[in-house]
């Protein structure tokens, strides 16, 4: 009997889907969808993002912005490859609605909305001149 082997990821890419389901658990046991871009488990990516935010918040609470920046950079390399986007133009080209700040904002987060003055995570709006003084 000649059965056609189904390839969910290639089908999802063909149909323009963002996620797909293999029906098999990831290496950490999550039986959830995966991203078509890299095959990563959605739950694993969410867990890594939560851990990153917790680690960064802890470093900021301890008054160590350099340590927090090192943590952010390490996670950026791990999760996004080379990191970024680092400005609004790169974000627009990538189809994103945010971009990475060059340093941490006073709220402890590190991404802006495209307007360049609003924190992407908590929505706080900063004065442009005050942000320039922080750089």
Domain match, 15 and 67 both: yes
Q: Are residues 29 and 69 in the same domain?
A: yes
The total of structural domains in the chain comes to 2
> How many C-beta atoms lie closer than 10 Å to residue 120's C-beta?
18
Give yes or no: residues 65 and 93 share one domain.
Answer: no
Q: What is the pLDDT of residues 111-122, one digit of tens each?
A: 778 787 888 788
Same domain, 20 and 78: yes
Indicate whether 74 and 104 sit together in one domain.
Answer: no
Tell me whether strands 111-113 and 34-35 are parallel, antiparallel or unpaired: unpaired
Tokens of 128: 């442009």
Q: For 11-30, what is the mean pLDDT?
A: 88
DSSP 119: B
Number of Cβ atoms within 10 Å of the Cβ of 8: 17
Question: Per residue in 38-66, pLDDT tens?
Answer: 888 989 888 888 887 787 778 777 777 66
| pLDDT tens string 62-112 | 777 666 676 666 655 554 544 455 667 777 776 677 777 766 777 777 777
| In the chain, % of residues over pLDDT 70 | 70
Instruction: Specify whether 103 is located in the same domain as 68.
Output: no
Q: Tell me, yes or no, whether 88 and 48 share the same domain.
A: no
Would you state the structure tokens that stand for residue 25, as one six-digit string?
């658990």
Q: Are strands 19-20 and 98-100 parallel, antiparallel or unpaired?
A: unpaired
- 61 with 112, same domain: the answer is no
Q: Tell me which residue of 44, 29, 34 sits closest to 12, measured CA to CA.
A: 34
Q: Note down the domain range covering 134.
A: 84-135
Residue 128 confidence (pLDDT) above 60: yes
Last residue of a domain, one of 52, 67, 82: 82
């Amino acid at each position: 009997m000649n059965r056609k082997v189904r390839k969910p990821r290639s089908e999802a890419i063909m149909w323009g889907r963002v996620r797909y389901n293999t029906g098999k658990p990831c290496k950490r046991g999550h039986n959830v969808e995966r991203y078509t871009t890299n095959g990563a488990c959605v739950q694993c990516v969410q867990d890594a993002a939560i851990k990153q935010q917790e680690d960064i918040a802890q470093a900021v609470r301890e008054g160590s912005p350099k340590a927090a920046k090192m943590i952010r950079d390490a996670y950026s390399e791990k999760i996004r490859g080379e990191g970024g986007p680092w400005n609004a133009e790169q974000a627009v080209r990538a189809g994103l609605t945010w971009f990475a700040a060059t340093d941490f904002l006073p709220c402890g987060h590190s991404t802006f909305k495209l307007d360049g003055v609003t924190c992407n995570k908590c929505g706080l709006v900063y004065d442009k001149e005050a942000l320039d003084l922080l750089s």
